[in-house]
Amino acid sequence: MAQGDGVNVFETSRQLGRIPVVGLRGVVALERTAWLKQLLRHPLMQGTVVLTSEVDRAAELDYARVQYYEAANATTAEGCLCCGMNRGLGDALRALFLRVLSKRARPIDRVLIDATVLEPEQLAFTFKHAPFLGQRYCYQMTLTVVGANAFMGDASEPEPSQTLVFDENTILRTN
């Protein structure tokens, strides 16, 4: 969705018809934490749930909607998470959806998966081949945090247009 000079990179579940999933990765935990804290402070991020495999992440982020999941490794040469999605992250996504459906949790605008390493192809492939999850969630993008910056996709060869900046109207936009 075009907004001024940049592109709005966050859409909500109401706009997409399914719950968008955004992967957030970065090797340095302190950089990822600082960037994520800044993002989650924005009022439009109230409907975001953060899933993480790191214990005590809710306290670090000072954000109420953080949930822990047990990480599972990819089980095939292609890096499919399907088998791993039967526990850990898959269980967390299923349980989250069912809690919202039964009104035991507030509605969700998006899910942010906080991970040290996350391959976008794995997530997209898994949603495509795990029917329950694929009908309710859609892979939107993966952001890579390096220093104080976040890049769409892989930051190893960032182009200036891939750098994301905070914007009061669109939350994030490409620069």
**Cα distance between residue 118 and residue 132, in whole Å:** 21
Query: Considering only CA atoms, which of 71, 99, 106 is closest in space to residue 85?
Result: 71
- Decide: 143 and 152 in contact? Cβ < 8 Å: yes
Q: Which amino acid is at 116?
A: T
What is the number of domains present in the chain?
A: 1
Q: Which residues of 131-167 are buried (b: 16+ CB within 10 A; e: fewer)?
A: eebeebbbbbbbbbbbeebbbbeebeebeeebbbeeb
Query: Considering only CA atoms, which of 117, 135, 126, 118 is closest in space to residue 90?
Result: 126
Q: Are strands 110-115 and 149-152 parallel, antiparallel or unpaired?
A: unpaired
Per-residue pLDDT tens digits for 133-149: 889 998 888 888 888 77
Which CATH number characterizes residue 58's domain?
A: 3.40.50
Q: 123 is in which domain, residue-wise?
A: 2-174
Distance of CA 50 to the CA centre of its chain: 7
Per-residue pLDDT tens digits for 37-48: 888 888 888 889
What is each CA distance from 110 to 62, 159, 162, in whole angstroms? Answer: 18, 26, 21
Highest mean pLDDT among 81-85, 126-130, 135-139, 144-148: 135-139
Share of the chain above pLDDT 70, in %: 73
